[in-house]
Amino acid sequence: MQTYIEKVVRGEDLTLEEMEAAARLMFDTDTDPVLVGSFLLALKQKKESVDEITALVQVVREHALTMPGELIGAMDNCGTGGDQSNSFNISTASAFVVAGAGITVAKHGNRSISSKTGSADVLEALGVDIRQSPEVSYQLLKENQISFLFSQQMHPKMKPVVQVRRALKIPTIFNLIGPLTNPVELETQLIGIYRRDLLLDMASVLAKLGRKRALVINGPGFMDEASLAGETHCVLLDRGELLEFTIKPEDVDLPYVDNKAISGGDKEMNARILTDVLSGKHGPHRDTVLLNAGLAIFANGKATTIKEGIALARTSIDEGHALEKLNHLIQTHQREVR
């Protein structure tokens, strides 16, 4: 590991093979955690390359639990975290809206690492079983078109790295790769990223990982979500081609919303916000979810324009389909408890 640290400190990118070797050392419980932390910090200072991100994702997925069957057309809309915005759980709420629009969403997520409330925290507060086995998750994805894949459950060998990340208390390459390590073979994806400088790189990684279509976004204030507070920067991956563009509220007939208006709180507060949105309550939270869900539907290809995606998202909420998806997960857990 020391050799790889020294190379990165010199400002040199690791090759795909070198990064795979370094990643396997991070999984090795015999590796000194101090060296793992030093390696992560050195990568962050240098700026992670496309090959380094790709190699780490491949090694993490090698060690993950797997689904018992194939899922055709599944997507995810997980963000990287790390933006320090303390917004409510936008991508989690949006996932149910996307599923309500008829798209299978394998919602990969974790407890909070660098924010107040992670997707696992808010879903747990809502009564969803976040520790489903791959078999149960697979069945729910087939019958309900959405299930939560708890990162700690799906990646049990990540514990040593998680401890290092918690000790560092700053975003690292693992914040970047979280959305990429979904154990389901995804065809399409929406990723929100807190680092605008990595938009093109992340889209290139998605291409290397075999995504047919994907959208990488960075919102105003460098949020890892789309926001209505100004320009959201986007890179679309479509059949290997990359297209950069920006989107503003007026482009999609939505109102301006200051980022302060979409702040969240603890998991109970964020659970109430999420339920209110899915129940049809109007306001800045709903408008922000409409934008993000619309972008996800567009990323999936079910909508040919972002405006069309937002229209489908609006229908998903207003006709109760999004809330039905959430209630199905809650009721499944209640039956299991009984």
* CATH number for the domain harbouring residue 287: 3.40.1030.10
Q: Which amino acid is at 149?
A: L
Q: Is residue 9 part of a domain?
A: no
133 is in an annotated binding site: no
Instruction: State the pLDDT at residue 84.
Output: 76
137 is in an annotated binding site: no
Residue of 226, 227, 197 whose CA lies nearest to 299: 226
Q: Is residue 306 part of a domain?
A: yes
54 is in an annotated binding site: no
Maximal C-alpha separation, the chain:
58
119 is in an annotated binding site: yes
Does residue 54 contact residue 16 with C-beta atoms inside 8 Å? Answer: yes
Q: Sign of the CA dihedral 178, 133, 317, 213?
A: positive
CA dihedral 130, 78, 190, 200 (to 10 degrees): -150
263 is in an annotated binding site: no
Structural domains in the chain (count): 1
Helices (H), 127-158: 134-144, 151-154
Average pLDDT value over all residues in the chain: 94
Q: Is residue 228 part of a domain?
A: yes
333 is in an annotated binding site: no
Instruction: State the pLDDT at residue 337.
Output: 56
Q: Is residue 137 part of a domain?
A: yes
91 is in an annotated binding site: yes
User: What is the span of the domain harbouring residue 148?
Assistant: 75-152+185-332
Does residue 146 contact residue 137 with C-beta atoms inside 8 Å? Answer: no
63 is in an annotated binding site: no
Please give the C-alpha separations between residue 44 and each of 179, 210, 284, in angstroms, as whole numbers.
Answer: 18, 25, 34
* Contacts of residue 272, Cβ cutoff 8 Å, sequence gap at least 6: none
Q: Is residue 31 part of a domain?
A: no
Q: Is residue 177 part of a domain?
A: no
38 is in an annotated binding site: no
pTM value? Answer: 0.94
Neighbours of 281 (CB within 10 A): 12
Q: Is residue 45 part of a domain?
A: no
165 is in an annotated binding site: yes
51 is in an annotated binding site: no
- Residues of the chain under the 70 pLDDT cut: 113-116, 337-338
Instruction: State the pLDDT at residue 115.
Output: 55
225 is in an annotated binding site: yes
Per the DSSP assignment, residues forming a β-bridge with 315 are: none
92 is in an annotated binding site: yes
Q: Is residue 140 part of a domain?
A: yes
18 is in an annotated binding site: no
89 is in an annotated binding site: yes
94 is in an annotated binding site: no
